[in-house]
Amino acid sequence: MSAAPNPVQPIPILIVPHPALKARARAVTPADAAQLRDLIPRMFAAMYAAPGIGLAAPQVGVGLRLAIVDLMPEEKPAPIVLINPEIVAASAELATREEGCLSLPGHYADVTRPARVSVRYSDPEGARRELSADGLLAACVQHEIDHLDGILFTDHLSPLKRNMILRRLAKEQRQKQAR
């Protein structure tokens, strides 16, 4: 058994319908550097503990354009920190994958998105980078960037499917609080 990827105290993940999840995040500036140094390790700790493969700052109540991703290829951490990410190219080809979200625990649905994307972002040291992604990574990066714009994966579903998931989640949360 391997050690946890990060011994830092995780930050709590917000659950729908928390209003922070529907708010558009603001761009990260150099003035946010100290906050990011504290926040990024805590976000990774929360994501790994959940467990999940992506987490955006709004999901932990922080309105900054920051997202983290780690698909754990071959069960080894491969963390990616995306600061002020923007999709600069998307394929015309679409792909449908089952998606879930740490802010909608236990709920999944098929979501159709561009099959490949290129994302421009800054890393924690301030270097500009570009990531070309396909498959699961493309879906994950698009999902996390959606969070930065106040969009949940359920917003990509039909109203009927979205309402079914949100009602079921609300019922589960009420039952959890009643215990």
- DSSP letter assigned to residue 139: H
- Structural tokens at position 41: 């390790």
Residues sharing a CB contact under 8 Å with residue 3, sequence separation 6 or more, in sequence order: none
- Give the residue carrying structure tokens 């319908």: 17
- Structural tokens at position 68: 């983290």
158-167: long-range contacts at Cβ-Cβ below 8 A with a sequence spacing of 24 or more? 161/109, 165/104, 165/107, 165/109, 166/16, 166/17
144 is catalytic: yes
Strand partners, 111: 97
List the catalytic residue out of 75, 93, 144, 172: 144
The set of catalytic residues is 144
